[in-house]
């Protein structure tokens, strides 16, 4: 039955995205980051959101456990819905009217502060350690959501990777369901698990249009799906006994985005370039400039996401079977450092080859 609902999510998303193509929302070439030949319909991320959420609600209504679905009172549920929708709406506003980078950044910071306010309220005691943890969570939210937006410049790359990252959280929600007697915050486990299935399924319907170059996700898709991944990860922090296992998993599985973005920003800062200005310095953009097809670039990043998820699950597995905590932490850290170092080395090697070819006399 889950497969049927997944198929419905994909078909519904495909149909909604087909309708969105007729809206007066266009992503026009600007000679900088946007280098398509003509304006392309955008904001396809809304089709993913609507289809994914509707199928999640329908599935839970038909087969979910009411004790999970309705345990949260209405105010708490509304807060979660607002936090879920905010990044999509910020992105949609930018797709529709456009907004200065600093304004969009300010709105995202307001969303992050709201997320942290909810976490602080649930933490009860704001000790120095809790304050530091909240600050690090806020920094990650800022980096990753913006990274998702920066990586949305080649057909299929950002949405495909985000769909894989979101789907990879499903086993962790299943693990959380087995921890009912050990941890609080379980009221959103089933809805969270549903989103990790049906939102990626809905992304497939969008990708049919996107890989053909007929529709872009827009900021609504990039910011929205990036924010959704972060919120689902935060729910897991509350629903699993070991928050460190979740933290290391999230840091590792997002490396295909964060390595490229942070390395690119570091390079532009070293070159004294404006990091807020649109550019084509990301590794995936240089591969496109070198002649790589969209599907090859997207496939490479999808593969890297799957590799990072597989490596990250090793630590989660040992945590779940109650292995030695120090051993688990060391394993998670080793996997993260090894993959981050490898990614940075590959990024640097690619950039050196690009610079040499650009400076060659021919």
- Given a cut of 90, whether residue 21 has pLDDT beyond it is yes
Task: Please tell me which of 134-138, 296-300, 320-324 the model is most confident about, judged by mean pLDDT.
Answer: 296-300
Top-confidence residue, 83 or 354 = 83
CB 210 within 8 A of CB 36: no
Q: Which residue has the higher pLDDT, 132 or 23?
A: 23
Average confidence (pLDDT) over 102-124:
82
Q: Which of 83, 95, 210, 217 is nearest to 148 (CA)?
A: 217
Name the band, by pLDDT with cuts 50, 70 and 90, for residue 141: very high
Distance CA 23, CA 42 (A): 9
Structural contact between residues 302 and 161, judged by C-beta atoms closer than 8 angstroms: yes
For residue 362, pLDDT beyond 60: no
Say if residue 192's pLDDT is above 90.
Answer: no
pLDDT averaged over the chain?
Answer: 84
DSSP state of 324: -
CB 247 within 8 A of CB 237: yes
Identify whether the C-beta of residue 173 lies closer than 8 Å to the C-beta of residue 229: no
326 or 231, higher pLDDT: 231
Query: Residue 61: how many CB atoms within 10 A of its CB?
Result: 10
pLDDT at 122: 59
Torsion region of 343: left, alpha or beta (phi above 0 gives left; psi -120 to 50 gives alpha): alpha
- Check residue 272 and give its pLDDT: 82
Find out whether 262 and 347 touch, Cβ atoms under 8 Å: no
Q: Which range has the worst mean pLDDT, 66-75, 219-228, 285-294, 322-331?
A: 66-75
Higher pLDDT, 106 or 126: 106
Highest mean pLDDT among 12-21, 286-295, 352-361: 12-21
**Structure-derived torsion over alpha carbons of residues 293, 298, 304, 305, reported in degrees to the nearest 10:** 180
Environment class of 28 (CB within 10 Å of its CB; exposed 0-12, middle 13-18, buried 19+): exposed
- pLDDT tens, 203-229? 999 999 999 999 999 999 999 999 999
Tell me the C-alpha to C-alpha distance, in Å, between residue 28 and each of 38, 96, 284.
6, 12, 20
C-beta separation of 32 from 273 below 8 A: no
140: tokens are 């990650």
**Cα 103 from Cα 151, distance rounded (Å):** 20
> Nearest 5°: CA angle at 195, between 337 and 197?
80
For residues 144 and 181, the model is more confident at 144
The Cα–Cα gap between 303 and 309 comes to 10
Least confident of 38-42, 117-121, 145-149, 206-210: 117-121
pLDDT in tens, 52-80: 999 998 988 887 655 444 444 556 667 77
Angle, CA of 277, 282 and 285, to the nearest 5°: 105
- Full DSSP string of 216-285: --HHHHHHHHHHHHHHHHHHHHHHSS-HHHHHHHHHHHTHHHHHHHHHHHHHHHHTT--TTS----SHHH
Outline where the chain has alpha helix (H). 2-20, 45-63, 66-69, 74-96, 101-123, 128-150, 157-167, 170-177, 189-210, 218-239, 243-253, 255-270, 283-289, 294-320, 325-359
Structure confidence at residue 279 (pLDDT): 78
Q: Between residues 323 and 47, which one has the greater pLDDT?
A: 47
Give yes or no for residue 359 having a pLDDT over 60: no
- Please say if the pLDDT value at position 148 is more than 90: yes
At residue 321, does pLDDT exceed 80? no
How far is Cα 76 from Cα 88, in angstroms, rounded to an integer?
A: 20
Q: Name the nearest CA neighbour of 200 among 5, 6, 3.
A: 6
| Phi, psi dihedral angles at 267 (to 5 degrees) | -65, -45
């Amino acid at each position: 039955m889950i497969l049927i609902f997944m198929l419905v999510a994909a078909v519904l998303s495909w149909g909604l995205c087909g309708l969105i193509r007729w809206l007066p929302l266009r992503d026009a070439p600007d000679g900088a980051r946007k280098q398509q030949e003509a304006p392309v319909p955008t904001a396809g991320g809304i089709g993913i959101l609507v289809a994914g959420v509707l199928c999640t609600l329908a599935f839970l209504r038909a087969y979910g456990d009411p004790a999970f679905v309705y345990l949260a009172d209405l105010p708490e549920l509304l807060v979660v819905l607002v936090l879920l929708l905010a990044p999509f709406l910020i992105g949609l506003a930018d797709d529709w009217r456009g907004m200065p980078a600093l304004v969009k950044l300010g709105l995202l910071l307001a969303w992050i502060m709201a997320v942290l306010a909810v976490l602080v309220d649930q933490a009860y005691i704001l000790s120095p350690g809790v304050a530091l943890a909240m600050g690090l969570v806020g920094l990650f939210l800022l980096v990753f959501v913006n990274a998702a937006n920066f990586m949305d410049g080649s057909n299929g790359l950002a949405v495909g990777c985000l769909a894989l990252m979101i789907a990879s959280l499903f086993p962790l929600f299943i693990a959380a369901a087995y921890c009912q007697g050990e941890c609080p915050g379980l009221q959103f486990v089933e809805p969270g698990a549903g989103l990790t299935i049906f939102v990626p399924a809905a992304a497939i319907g969008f990708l049919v249009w996107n890989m053909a170059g007929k529709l872009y996700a827009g900021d609504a898709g990039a910011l929205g799906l990036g924010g959704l991944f972060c919120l689902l990860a935060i729910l897991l922090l509350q629903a699993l006994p070991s928050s460190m296992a979740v933290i290391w998993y999230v840091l590792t599985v997002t490396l295909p985005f964060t390595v490229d973005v942070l390395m690119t920003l570091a390079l532009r800062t070293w070159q004294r370039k404006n990091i807020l200005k649109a550019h084509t310095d990301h590794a995936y953009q240089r591969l496109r400039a070198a002649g790589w097809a969209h599907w090859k670039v997207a496939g490479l990043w999808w593969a890297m996401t799957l590799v990072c998820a597989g490596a990250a699950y090793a630590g989660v597995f040992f945590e779940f079977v109650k292995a030695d905590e120090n051993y688990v932490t060391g394993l998670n850290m080793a996997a993260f450092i090894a993959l981050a170092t490898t990614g940075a080395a590959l990024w640097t090697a690619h950039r050196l080859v690009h610079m040499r070819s650009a400076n060659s006399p021919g």
